[in-house]
Amino acid sequence: MSFYFLSFKRNKTKSDLFLGLLLLSLSIRIGKSVFYNFNPLLSKTYLQIGLSACFLIGPLLYFYVRSILQNLNYSFAKYSLTLLITTIIVFGFLFPHKEHPSIWRGIIYYFINIQWFFFIVLSIYEAKQIFKKLATNRNQISYHETWILSVICGVFAIWLSYSLAKYTSYISGALTFSFSFYISLLLIYYAKNKSSISVINKEKYVNKIDEKLVKEIQEQINILFETRKIYTNPDLTLSIFAKELNIRPQLLSQFINDNLNKSFTQFINEYRIDETFLLARNYFGQ
């Protein structure tokens, strides 16, 4: 999944990159736990790599949540991660685990847990409106909001399992990771299907699209255009665009025709023309 989001996913967004790096860091941490559980004589180098990855889990979770909510300064995030990774490498070089095991098992391990939990709290704060919606009106939670909730809760469950590992089992973190991953997939699948069914039901009983649904579709289009500029795809069709919005092509066509008084081709070409003029102006410096 990490390699998919980092390398193979088409039309990657910044949030996809943060999610890919988050899954990679979790996988390194979990992998170390699994190997160490079955081989207590595992090289201290692998233990150091696994613990070092833990330093990145919290910040990557926080940056992922802020990026998907479109509330992130990417330059600051890039600088912070670069500084953090550099610090981890330098510290690991000066104080390797095999020569200073007491430091890594003591102060470093506790600092990791505190730092990890701190960023979980920050992530929950950033997504407070989604959690509020979960408590008051969970039926209104969207597909993307389900993603955010699943990731935050999954990471928190893994942190909790490691924090309580001395009372349970060291491999509990790996088991929690698997459990959280499968539950997240089920929740996302359910949310996606529910969203599709909801749209179909709305269309059954009204000839004109409800104003609330019109606003939701427009917001989804704005987000999609701003984050991915999908209109620049020369192979874009009404069906492909509707699939990206997770709605039926008939509903999208009705929205464009009735609410924008345009055809799909006119609608997309207007954005393409604006983009061309913007590029030309930037190129000629005017």
Q: Are residues 15 and 60 in the same domain?
A: yes
276 Cβ neighbours under 8 A, 6+ residues apart: none
Residue 86 token pair: 């550099």
Q: Are residues 133 and 240 in the same domain?
A: no
Residue 107 predicted with pLDDT over 60: yes
Q: Pick from 160, 194, 228: which residue ends a domain?
A: 194
Q: Is residue 201 part of a domain?
A: no
Q: Pick from 194, 214, 249: which residue ends a domain?
A: 194
Number of neighbouring beta carbons within 10 Å of residue 107: 10
Q: Is residue 67 part of a domain?
A: yes
Q: Are residues 238 and 167 in the same domain?
A: no
Q: Are residues 72 and 102 in the same domain?
A: yes
Query: Using CA atoms, how far apart are residues 266 and 240, in angstroms rounded to an integer?
Result: 16
Q: Is residue 252 part of a domain?
A: yes
Number of domains in the chain: 2
Q: Is residue 200 part of a domain?
A: no
Residue 280 predicted with pLDDT over 90: no
Q: Is residue 187 part of a domain?
A: yes
Q: Are residues 258 and 134 in the same domain?
A: no
Going by the DSSP 8-state scheme, the letter that residue 170 receives in this structure is T
Mean pLDDT over all residues of the chain?
A: 82
Q: Are residues 229 and 179 in the same domain?
A: no
User: Which residue range forms the structural domain that includes residue 269?
Assistant: 206-284
Per-residue confidence (pLDDT) for residue 125, from 0 to 100: 93
Q: Is residue 106 part of a domain?
A: yes
Q: Is residue 199 part of a domain?
A: no
Query: Using CA atoms, how far apart are residues 194 and 143, in angstroms rounded to an integer?
Result: 9
Nearest to 181 by CA among 154, 157, 149: 154
Give counts: helices (H), strands (E), the chain.
14, 0
Q: Are residues 17 and 127 in the same domain?
A: yes
Residue 205 predicted with pLDDT over 50: no
Q: Are residues 21 and 60 in the same domain?
A: yes
Query: Using CA atoms, how far apart are residues 2 and 6, in angstroms rounded to an integer?
Result: 6
Residue 197 predicted with pLDDT over 70: no
pLDDT digits (tens, 9 = 90+) for 114-144: 999 999 999 999 999 888 888 887 767 777 7
Residue 166 predicted with pLDDT over 50: yes
Residue 236 token pair: 């874009």
Number of neighbouring beta carbons within 10 Å of residue 13: 16
Lowest-pLDDT range, 12-26, 70-84, 200-214, 234-248? 200-214
CB hemisphere CA count around 55 (13 angstroms): 19
Q: Pick from 152, 174, 194: which residue ends a domain?
A: 194
pLDDT digits (tens, 9 = 90+) for 206-260: 457 778 888 888 888 988 888 888 888 888 888 888 888 888 888 888 888 888 8
Are 161 and 173 in contact, with CB atoms under 8 Å apart?
A: yes
Per-residue confidence (pLDDT) for residue 162, from 0 to 100: 83
Per-residue confidence (pLDDT) for residue 82, from 0 to 100: 94
Query: Using CA atoms, how far apart are residues 82 and 277, in angstroms rounded to an integer?
Result: 35
Instruction: Tell me the whole-structure pTM to 2 decimals.
Output: 0.63
215 Cβ neighbours under 8 A, 6+ residues apart: none
Q: Are residues 119 and 190 in the same domain?
A: yes
Per-residue confidence (pLDDT) for residue 44, from 0 to 100: 85
Q: Are residues 180 and 210 in the same domain?
A: no
Q: Are residues 182 and 258 in the same domain?
A: no
Residue 114 token pair: 């505190």
Q: Is residue 107 part of a domain?
A: yes
Q: Are residues 210 and 190 in the same domain?
A: no
Residue 286 predicted with pLDDT over 60: no
